[in-house]
Amino acid sequence: MANQAPNKAQQRLSQVSNHLSSGSHSNALPSGGLGRDALLEKHPDDVVVTCAIRTPFTKGGKGPLRDTMAADLLALTFKNLLSRSKIDPTLVEDIATGCVLAPGGGATEYRAAALVAGFPESTAVRSLNRQCSSGLQACVDIANQIKTGMIEIGIGSGVESMSTQYGPGAVTEFSDLLENHMEAANCKVPMGVLSEQMASDRKVTRDAQDAFAASSYQKALKAQEQGLFDKEIMPVTVQYTDPKTDETKEVTVTKDDGVRPGITAQSLGKIKAAFSKTGTIHAGNASQVSDGAAAVLLMKRSTAERIGQPILGKYITASVVGVPPLLMGIGPWKAIPVALEKAGISKDEVDIYEINEAFASQCVWCLNELGLDEKKVNPKGGAIAFGHPLGCTGARQVGTLLHELRRTGQKIGVTSMCVGTGMGMAAVWVAE
C-alpha cells in the first residue's frame, strides 16, 4: 500500500474492524437469535449500575414524609447513596434528577441538594421532566452520557414530594392555540378521567382491576414481611408535624407505609368509583399519591472495576414511544416491544418486568395485550401498593428490579411505565 496515505489504510482497517465489533458488542445492538447470550456477555464498556437505592415511600398528605421538601428528600437520598456505595463524591461528574411537579423543574433546589449531600461544586446537576418516566429518563440520559464518553460516572435519580407540590400549579393554563386543537387539548385531560374512559373502551372490568390491585397489595406485603425491600430502601430521618396534635417531632422512616394487610379483591370491590358513578377506578386500584426519592449510580464496567465498585447489573437499552394522549395508559404495550427489539430478545427471555401500576386498568390491559406471564410482572407489588411519586418511580424501578433479579438468581429485566400526555418508556437491564 505504498501509494496510500496512512489515513486511508487506517480507514480501511477501521471498516474491517467494524465487521467484528458490531456483532458481538453488548451495548451496541446485539444480533438477533443470539439475543440472551449476547446480553449476558460482559464487556469493559458496558454501562453498569453499582448502587440503586431509595427512600421509603409514604402517603401523600398523611405519611411521615409529608413535611419534607422534595430537595430535602433528594439530599437525604444522595447522602445515603454516598454512604452505601462509598464512592468518592469528587468522581461523580453529573447528576440527572427526574421530577414532575416542581416549579421550574427543581433545577435550582437539586443543585443545592447535591451540595448539601456532600458532592463538590465540580459535580454538575440537572433536572428533567418526562412526566412519570422522568426517573427512568434520568438514568437513561446518564447511561447515554457515559456511553458516548461525555462523562465517566453519573447518577440518575428521581424525586417527588406530592404532599407539598401536587396540585393545579403544576400545569400552566392552556392557550387558545392549544385548546382549539383537539389532540393537543387532550393532553390536559386528567389521568383518572382518561383511564376510566380507556377501561371502558378497552373493556377492562372492575373485577379484573380489583383482582390485580389486591394481588399487588398482597405481593408487596409479603415482600415487606420477608425484608425484600431492605436492599433498595435506606431509612431517612425527617421532621414531621402530626396533623392531629400539631406536635413536631423527628421520625426515622424505614418502610413504605402504603402497604397494608388484609386487602382482597372483595374488600376493594366495596370501594366507590372515584371519577364517575358507573366507573371502575377508585383509590384502591390506582397508584397511591406518595412522597419519595430514588437514585442510581452508573459508570462503565472498566471504571467500576478500577475503583472497586460492586456491579449490580448493567443497562442495555431503552425505548420511548408516543401513543394517543387519551390512551396514555397503553404506553408500556408499545414501548416494551421496541426496547426488546433493540435488545434483540423475545418477551419470553425476560425474567422480570417492572411495569408501573399507574392504574390497574391500564396495567392489566398492557399485560394481556403483550401476553406477559403475570408471575413475571411486579413480583414485589407496585405503585398500587406502595405508591407512585411521579418523577421518582422510574429510578425506583431500577433498584427494585435489579435487587430482585439478583436475589432470585435471574438475569434479564425490563422496567416500563406509561407517561402522561400519551407516551411510553421501557428499558432493558441485566443483573449480575
**Residue 226, interface with another protein (CB under 8 A)?**
no
Give, as ranges, the residues between 130 and 189 that touch another protein (CB under 8 A): none
- Interface residue with another protein, options 22, 226, 239, 266 (CB under 8 A): 22
Cell of 22: 458490531
**Which residue lies nearer to another protein by CB, 29 or 271?**
29
266 makes contact with another protein (CB under 8 A): no
CB distance 216 to 384 below 8 Å: yes
Q: What is the dihedral of CA 46, 144, 354, 226, to 10 degrees?
A: 60
Based on the shown chain and the rule CB under 8 A, indicate whether residue 14 belongs to the binding site for another protein: no
| 341 lies in the binding site for another protein (CB under 8 A) | yes
- Give the span between the Cα atoms of 119 and 141, in whole angstroms: 20
Does residue 388 carry a catalytic annotation? yes
Chosen residue from 10, 14, 18, 226 binding another protein by CB under 8 A: 18
Catalytic: 181?
A: no
Distance from the first to the final alpha carbon of the chain: 46
Cross-strand bridge partners of residue 412 = 430
Is 418 an active-site residue?
yes
Supply the minimum distance, in Å, between the C-beta of residue 429 and another protein: 18
The single residue of 51, 99, 388, 392 carrying the catalytic annotation is 388
Q: What character string, x for contact with another protein (CB under 8 A) and - otherwise, covers 371-410?
A: x---------------------------------------
Size, binding site for another protein by CB under 8 A: 26
Our finding on whether 269 is near another protein (CB under 8 A) is no
Taking residue 307's Cβ as centre, other Cβ atoms within 10 Å add up to 15
Burial class (CB in 10 A: 0-12, 13-18, 19+), 40: middle
- Least distance (Å) between residue 133 CB and another protein: 22
Of 62, 5, 112, 47, the residue nearest 387 (C-alpha): 62
The β-bridge partners of 48 are: 299, 314
Q: Report the interface residues with another protein, using CB under 8 A.
A: 1-4, 12, 15, 18-20, 22-24, 29, 31-34, 337, 340-342, 344, 346-347, 370-371
Catalytic residue numbers, as ranges: 132, 388, 418
